[in-house]
């Protein structure tokens, strides 16, 4: 590179799952809370929504971090033609899991790395297909009471007991399912001069 990398690495997210994933890279980073309206645009497809929101989140904190690499990420889960979000409570989580039973759920996870100094954006979209088991209502209740996945899109925390609700996964990067595609992000960081193993 002909110029030094920006001074800071910033995660534009308050998600504990994204923070834990980024910590795996053993690179110091700061956290910033982006204020972004996450409502889809009229006619917007789920992959486009995930990409747009990932970039909007990075842009939302750019003014506060003028010399940084800012990571924005977003995930949109879809069963059939329906977007499913974070359930928020037991009733909604159980309802989501009943809707997903025996179905294929697509998780579109986007990441944007914004160089706030140059305004250069790198983006990637990773889709993971989750095949859900034919579980019973009793298994749903036991799972939701045990794992309380109320802040998890699709109500199955794959890094926890939610893995027991899954038949199989299809995709290139399992970290994308948790909320931050690290394989793509590592490539972006290397493009910006980070030394990663």
Residues belonging to the active site: 74
- Please tell me the distance from the alpha carbon of residue 154 to that of residue 107, in angstroms, as a whole number: 9
- Residue 166: name the closest of 122, 126, 115, 131 by CA: 131
In contact, 113 and 124? CB cutoff 8 Å: no
Cα-trace Rg, the chain: 17
Rounded Cα gap, residues 145 and 89, in angstroms:
10
């Amino acid at each position: 590179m002909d110029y030094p990398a920006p001074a800071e690495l910033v995660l534009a997210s308050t998600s504990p799952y994204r923070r834990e994933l980024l910590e795996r890279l053993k690179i110091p980073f700061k956290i910033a809370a982006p204020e972004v309206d996450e409502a889809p645009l009229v006619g917007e497809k789920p992959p486009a929504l995930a990409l747009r929101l990932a970039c909007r989140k990075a842009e939302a904190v750019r003014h506060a971090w003028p010399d940084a690499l800012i990571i924005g990420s977003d995930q949109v889960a879809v069963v059939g033609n329906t977007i499913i979000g974070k359930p928020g409570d037991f009733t909604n989580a159980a309802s989501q899991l009943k809707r997903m039973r025996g179905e294929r759920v697509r998780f579109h996870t986007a990441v944007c790395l914004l160089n706030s100094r140059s305004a250069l954006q790198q983006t990637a979209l990773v889709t993971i297909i989750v095949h859900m088991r034919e579980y019973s209502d009793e298994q749903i209740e036991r799972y939701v009471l045990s794992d309380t996945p109320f802040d998890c899109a699709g109500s199955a925390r794959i890094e926890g007991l939610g893995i027991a609700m899954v038949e199989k996964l299809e995709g290139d990067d399992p970290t994308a399912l948790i909320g931050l595609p690290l394989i793509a992000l590592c490539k972006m960081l290397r493009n910006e001069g980070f030394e990663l193993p």
